[in-house]
Structure 1
């Protein structure tokens, strides 16, 4: 009986070691793939983003150097699973896009008004390549009615996105929907301001 228990324990230890080794090997391969992907973007001075959903971090980089960092409070997913994607931002949409005042030629009384961070929306959608959309929002102010504010996102989370997932799977078309929540509205506004159309982003989900 004692020999049997020792043999069983040895087998369990070997199995655990093998599993741990495989897990470490997979992690190393994933990290290597991410480094190779980022190296291609870091060869030129153009800005690019890294969305690390596992760590809930977003990085704005140039030549591998972090210029700005965002901390996501929450990130939810629907659609096709993915581990690593490199995509360009096609467009940004929001209910009330920021607009400069129209200045008529020759009107010296009107000064040039620059758009600043407080003018940026705190709720918007980023449409990426390959059928990915990213809904960005921040927590509502205390004076707002949370139930009314969250109704859209509750509908989106439990009805709209699940139905779209089934529909696109039936149509055999790519579909990934991400919902990002920031604690501070200034973080959402800064991301909108920084992330311009045509900018490349690495999406990491492992």
Structure 2
């Protein structure tokens, strides 16, 4: 209950600050809806992701308590506006998927090894896509310390803006469906850690500009 009280206090503090600063009514209503949605997530779900694109950070929370934060180095938003409601992760898509560990059954119990291999965060992909409800797609891309490796991001961006985004936007219009693409650039370590915690079904709440 203590983390929930902190969350409630933060919401009330944010609302009072908004009342004093006289923001645009549409933005005020939108932010209030997001804060109410986060309060409901904190009560109903053990874990959820909060994507604050205004402050460039992704947070893994449980019952309103911050567990892990992933700073966003840079981001791009394209397509239709993001819905002001929780969006669960439907699917994770990556070119290099984590290798499955297969344990061969042994006839004799004595032959079973006690050293069972396990996958860690370092084994996760750093470049992938998270498909959410309502046609929202998060493209996670790593930022490397070397320029040569970052050339992959440039090639990926050219493909996105020249082929993927126009085709999917047109396809969405023809099918009367929305399409939103958000490119999020993180460090390679944070991108892998986010893949580890972003399980299918976990709700995401997006605070967009």
CA–CA distance in structure 1, aligned partners of residues 80 and 24 of structure 2: 25
Which residue is 1:99 aligned to? 99
1:50 counterpart SS class: strand
The alpha carbon displacement at 1:89 in A equals 0.5
Residue of 162, 167, 170 corresponding to 2:171: 167
Q: Is the 8 A contact 2:59 2:68 kept in 1?
A: yes
CA–CA distance in structure 2, aligned partners of residues 148 and 35 of structure 1: 37
Gaps of 5+ in 1: 1-19
1:193 paired to 2:193 = no
Is 53-62 or 38-47 further displaced after alignment?
Answer: 38-47
CA RMSD of aligned residues (A): 2.3
The alpha carbon displacement at 1:39 in A equals 1.1
**CA offsets per residue over residues 139-178 of structure 1, 9 Å max, x none?**
2352745445521222213432133223312321121111
Q: Is the 8 A contact 1:103 1:110 kept in 2?
A: no
Note closer, same or farther for the CA distance 1:174–1:149 as it changes in structure 2 (3 Å cut): closer
Q: TM-score, normalised by structure 2?
A: 0.79
CA–CA distance in structure 2, aligned partners of residues 45 and 152 of structure 1: 34
Q: Is the 8 A contact 2:141 2:153 kept in 1?
A: no
Note closer, same or farther for the CA distance 1:127–1:148 as it changes in structure 2 (3 Å cut): closer
CA–CA distance in structure 2, aligned partners of residues 68 and 199 of structure 1: 15
2:172 counterpart SS class: helix
The alpha carbon displacement at 1:32 in A equals 2.2
2:134 counterpart SS class: coil
Q: TM-score, normalised by structure 1?
A: 0.80
Which residue is 2:35 aligned to? 35
